[in-house]
Structure 1
Amino acid sequence: MDFSYSEEQQMLQSSVSKFIQQDYDFDRRSKLIDSDTGFSEDNWKLFAELGWLMVPFSAEDGGLGGSAVDLIVVMEEFGRGLVVEPFLASAVLSGGLIANGANEAQKRELISLLMEGNLQLAFAFAEPQSRFNLSDITTKAVRNGDSYVVNGHKAVVLNGSAADKLLVAVRTSGGQHDCEGITLLLIDANTEGVHRQGYATVDGHRAAEVKFNNVMVPVANRVGEEGAALPVIEQTIDRATLALCAEAVGAMEKIYRKTVEYTKTREQFGVPIGKFQALQHRMVDMFTEYEQARSILLMAALQLDVNNGVAPKAISAAKSRIGKAARLVGQEAIQLHGGIGVTEELDVSHYFKRLTTIQYYFGSTDYHTRRFAGH
């Protein structure tokens, strides 16, 4: 079978790759991480101008087609460059919820603003007690006339501190773990009663704890039907998981190649350590893990595209396998670099931290292994 990218996908890949090489070196990224926002708003505008923010969306929604393969093309390159701009959190995850669950009027307004680079979104779904259970929700929304009154606490909200609007999974009926009774609300981040505490995560990205204290939300701000949001959330999280897997594959390739280059120059006992057969075997293992990870990534992307965006078993297979590969490749890279591998000044340590964090986003390796077995 021919797994090569189409001409359009090759052009997209080249566009992102050139940006990473010319405008996103490690020193510039380090300065962005230390800034107030944690990313570059100018870069975000550039993403919009180059059409990258249109990639996750279908042609019907004004995007470039919205195929899963197109998405992994972008995310692999972002993984190679350790990009910290909130493409995953705002465009893929939050934008996906709008595309899959919103009415036509909401789509026209929100997706166009997002693709133009004029709107930052965040999806608040996880809670301190929920672990990886998407239906474990205690944040409540009680109907009061033409509004909902929202109270609760959302944890580790990606892009939560920079978002203009929050998409919040709330419980409008049922018990804490019920699959029914979950509703999506669009809440302006500056609404009275919304309290955000932003922080930097270990991998250089940004998240926030968000608390809602008697927040009034118009019923018109509901996304989709009341109490029926879980299927939309699950489908969107799966797509975001694929994007995250693609980022991991890109990061693995980069850290593997950097490790090979390092062993050619680092000398021990008067010879480069890359000459030692035991270390060569370990680098072969790294390469094998990367190749297997990329293969299962392509399988999952193709499964999503041929099944109208619903392929939970394929997504869990990819997340489980790529999580294991990320662990091995990241740890071996640190081992082969030695003490310098864990320093802030070397980019390898940042690739390692990103790969380690990715293993736990949207479900850990063990969680997805069990989910795969259950389907």
Structure 2
Amino acid sequence: MPLILTEEQTMLKEATEGFLNENAPIAHLRKLRDSRDPDGVSRDLWRQFGEMGFAGILIAEEHGGSALGPVEAGVVAEALGRTLTPSPFLGSAVLAARILGDQGSDAQKADWLPRIAAGEAIVSLAVDEGAKHRPDRIATRAERSGNGFRINGAKGFVLDGHVADALIVAADTDEGLTLFLVDPRASGVAIERTVMVDAHNAARVTLNDVEVDADAVIGSVGGGRIALDGALDLGRACIAAMLNGAGDQAFQVTTEYLRTRKQFGKLIGEFQALQHRAAHLFTEIELARAAAIGALQRLEAGKDPQGLAVAVAKAKAGKVAELAVQEAVQMHGGVGMTDEFDVGLFMKRVRVLNELLGDAAYHQDRLARAQGY
């Protein structure tokens, strides 16, 4: 397939960017950060996401969603990267919606998917436990207890976990990895908000003898690995799109600065050295965008079972976005590090997105192992 958006996807891109530029520009992030908002995310904006159809982009029409695909989710994700908008989109509309849509029981789907699609509920995936993303090393345990399970463990980097209405917890059982739908208000659940360096939200979740019924299991006992891996790859591809959005927007801000800033009586954009660096960055951004669109297209077609295209996209987008924000700060000079300019905010966001669901080294290793190295 051509590594470009279709006409309908381009219309979605324009609608999403227009909505976010009007309702959640970078000033929205600054306001939440500077006011020390206790949630760090706007529930009203999330409901607007529901009204616009963004929150339910991957959810079936029977549950109030738009029934679109990974490429469309990537379009929304890229727009969020451009505006740095704090939003439960990745955790709820992508990761949780994919798991519940694929493996949830009829009751779980009926209870949660319509509310996610309407922007009325936030559901967070709790999988990571250490400083780095290692979904193959889950120490959280769920032991059978009565007609259900008792869960013990600790999770970190849980996106918007402090405001979640439900948690999807990955835990090891005697039968294998299992996903559980857990009430964050249940006895034994402790949640601590962690404001990240980019002013977005995550949480630490501790589970101490948390009792859940058998109907809290998503899918089958021991059958959570396939559902989790599929959701994580979709999330990684969407993060690649976010990185592309953040990197490209930092580039656009920088090129505008090059056109207006004068030094030694000349516009600095006239200096050939800066022109060469900008041209190189432009080509890298286009390559990263193509890699992300390709990965999303392959996911939609079911042609990337090992997630190798996703690994390429996440690693490439991370490296390019890192280059973009570094060049942005350098070309702005000393003022690029001040809070008055937005480029520093993009640098912080890129650093967090690079770590989320695996950094470039993680995905490069994944590619190497898949090819026998």
Amino acid at match of 2:232: I
- Measured in 1, the distance between the counterparts of 2:155 and 2:333 equals 39
- Measured in 1, the distance between the counterparts of 2:12 and 2:48 equals 14
Task: Give yes or no for the alignment of 1:333 onto 2:333.
Answer: no
**Secondary structure of the corresponding residue to residue 278 of structure 2:** helix
Structure 1 range deviating more: 330-339 or 65-74: 65-74
**Structure 2 counterpart of 1:31:** 31
| Residues 1-375 of structure 1 aligned to structure 2 (within 5 Å) | 2-33=2-33, 34-59=36-61, 62-128=64-130, 131-173=132-174, 181-307=176-302, 310=305, 312-375=307-370
Give CA deviations for 1:7-30 in whole Å, capped at 9, x if unaligned. Answer: 432332222111122222322321
- Measured in 2, the distance between the counterparts of 1:321 and 1:60 equals 36
C-alpha displacement of 1:222: 0.8
- Measured in 2, the distance between the counterparts of 1:318 and 1:38 equals 29
Q: Unaligned 5+ residue runs, structure 2?
A: none
- Measured in 2, the distance between the counterparts of 1:27 and 1:113 equals 28
Structure 1 range deviating more: 46-55 or 95-104: 95-104
Give CA deviations for 1:47-84 in whole Å, capped at 9, x if unaligned. Answer: 10111112122446543223111111111111111111
C-alpha displacement of 1:2: 4.8
Amino acid at match of 2:77: M
Report the CA distance shift for 1:227/1:2 in structure 2 as closer, same or farther (over 3 A).
closer
C-alpha displacement of 1:292: 0.7
- Measured in 2, the distance between the counterparts of 1:339 and 1:191 equals 49
Amino acid at match of 1:141: A
**Structure 2 counterpart of 1:176:** none
C-alpha displacement of 1:345: 2.3
**Structure 2 counterpart of 1:177:** none
- Calculate the TM-score normalised by the size of structure 2: 0.94
- Measured in 2, the distance between the counterparts of 1:143 and 1:326 equals 45
**Secondary structure of the corresponding residue to residue 295 of structure 1:** helix
Amino acid at match of 1:278: A
C-alpha displacement of 1:209: 0.8
- Measured in 1, the distance between the counterparts of 2:318 and 2:10 equals 26
- Measured in 2, the distance between the counterparts of 1:233 and 1:46 equals 28
Maintained 8 Å contact 2:3/2:294? no
- Measured in 1, the distance between the counterparts of 2:170 and 2:28 equals 35
**Secondary structure of the corresponding residue to residue 143 of structure 1:** strand
**Secondary structure of the corresponding residue to residue 163 of structure 2:** coil
Maintained 8 Å contact 2:167/2:181? yes
Maintained 8 Å contact 1:326/1:356? no
- Measured in 2, the distance between the counterparts of 1:214 and 1:3 equals 49
**Secondary structure of the corresponding residue to residue 161 of structure 2:** coil
- Measured in 1, the distance between the counterparts of 2:161 and 2:315 equals 27
**Secondary structure of the corresponding residue to residue 359 of structure 1:** helix
Amino acid at match of 1:304: L
C-alpha displacement of 1:147: 2.3
Amino acid at match of 2:171: V
**Secondary structure of the corresponding residue to residue 135 of structure 1:** coil
Identity over aligned pairs, percent: 35
Give CA deviations for 1:67-115 in whole Å, capped at 9, x if unaligned. Answer: 1111111111111111111100111111211112212221122111111
Maintained 8 Å contact 2:29/2:199? no
**Secondary structure of the corresponding residue to residue 119 of structure 1:** coil
- Measured in 2, the distance between the counterparts of 1:25 and 1:229 equals 37
Amino acid at match of 2:22: Q
Q: CA RMSD in A?
A: 1.7
Report the CA distance shift for 1:62/1:23 in structure 2 as closer, same or farther (over 3 A).
closer
- Measured in 2, the distance between the counterparts of 1:14 and 1:188 equals 37
Structure 1 range deviating more: 62-71 or 80-89: 62-71
- Measured in 2, the distance between the counterparts of 1:313 and 1:75 equals 20
Amino acid at match of 1:125: V
Maintained 8 Å contact 2:133/2:355? no
Give CA deviations for 1:263-282 in whole Å, capped at 9, x if unaligned. Answer: 22222222121111111111
- Measured in 1, the distance between the counterparts of 2:226 and 2:252 equals 40
Maintained 8 Å contact 1:69/1:302? yes
**Secondary structure of the corresponding residue to residue 65 of structure 1:** coil
Q: Unaligned 5+ residue runs, structure 1?
A: 174-179
Paired positions, count = 368
